Amino acid sequence: MTKEAISVAVKNAIERNEDLESAKVSLLNAGYISSEIDEASREISSSPIEISHKNEVVANDFSVPSPEENVKIKKGVPFWVILLGMIFIVLIASGVAYFLTIGKH
């Protein structure tokens, strides 16, 4: 890993609120060279680091919804769907009755 990549890894660790020493230990445990880690750490500690707060969650006016707001209204099947279904059943039954009476003649 290059010095720049080690620097990025250390900066990312610091942005995740890890201290510099634990970041160095993590990189050592991962098999990186101690001298490169120390050099990158010195450069980082000598320059100001801008920490981003991308994952910070701010909930200013959060309130728990009342039970009435939590209730979901279950909508039934529309009337026209039921009506069409009944008409379809009547037509099928009429067709079956018609063909059964034709077979007797």
User: Would the pLDDT of 57 be above 80?
Assistant: no
> For residues 20, 25, 27 and 30, what is the CA-based torsion angle, rounded to 10 degrees?
-160
Which range, 1-5, 33-37, 46-50, is most confident?
Answer: 33-37
Domain range summary for the chain, segments of one domain joined by +: 3-46, 77-104
In percent, the amount of the chain with pLDDT more than 70 equals 70
Q: How would DSSP label each residue in 6-49? A: HHHHHHHHHHTT--HHHHHHHHHHTT--HHHHHHHHHHHHHS--
pLDDT tens digits for range 6-36: 888 888 888 888 888 888 888 888 888 888 8
User: Would the pLDDT of 91 be above 90?
Assistant: yes
